[in-house]
Structure 1
Amino acid sequence: MTLPAPDPHCLFCRIVSGEIPAQVLAEGETTVAFRDIEPQAPVHFLVVPRSHYPDAASLGEAEPATVADLVATAAQVASAEGVDSYRLVFNTGADANQTVFHAHLHVLGGRSLTWPPG
């Protein structure tokens, strides 16, 4: 299987490559986890695939095992951060408030999270 080339204009591709610095929390063969620069909870980090897909739906279609890796990485980092209750969020599309079009998983925790979020 041929993976998509990194997008030289994509913020997350540039973080994955090390071109743009980030507070990296974990790196694996298929994923990179780093702190969100605008945290919405005491613990808020992102887990992104190393491969570039514009959203979670396209990633899931092309690389379902990588979606599982994102969730496993989220659990490992949450545990390392001392969080055992957390929310996982994929925003898919502009109307869902996706602002960076590279699939990414938000992990939020460290406080009680209300539902529905909005």
Structure 2
Amino acid sequence: MTLEKSIFSKIIDRELPADIIYEDEKCIVIRDINPKARIHLLIIPKKQIATLFDLSPEDKDLMGHMMLLLPQLAESQGLDGFQTRIHTGESGGQEVFHIHIHLLGK
């Protein structure tokens, strides 16, 4: 099954603008356009994976990379604590079907 190109893939491909905070070969980090906290970042893998249900064993390094990036991003934003959220599926509040981690801090 081929996924329709997500809004995040369009940001990664520079087809849509975004406030990019960080980028490497595996992921991109942007500011959320509808922030729920003073600091609200989205950590998005460059590989489009629809939901956590769609992860495969080959994605463990990618997901680990993103998790290890969270404290570095928080510190770079001056945070000494933060929350993370991953919405999964429509009933889990997921709006964009391209896995992403929300980093929120006061």
TM-score (norm 1): 0.82
Q: Give matches, 1:40-55, under 5 Å.
A: 40-55=36-51
1:21 matched residue in structure 2 = 17
Partner of 2:62: 66
Tell me: CA distance 1:109–1:42, structure 2 relative to 1, closer, same or farther (3 Å): same
| 1:97 aligned to which of 77, 93, 96 | 93
List gaps (5 residues or longer) in structure 1: 111-118
Call closer, same or farther: CA 1:60–1:23 in 2, change over 3 Å: farther
Unmatched runs of 5 consecutive residues or more in structure 2: none
Aligned residues: CA RMSD = 1.6
TM-score by length of 2: 0.90
* Distance apart, 1:8 and its partner CA: 5.6
Aligned match for 2:78, one of 82, 85, 98: 82
Give the count of matched residue pairs: 105
Q: Secondary structure at the match of 1:72?
A: helix
Alpha-carbon distance in structure 1 between the residues aligned to 2:80 and 2:54: 29
Deviates more, 1:74-83 or 1:42-51: 74-83
Aligned residues with identical type, % of pairs: 29
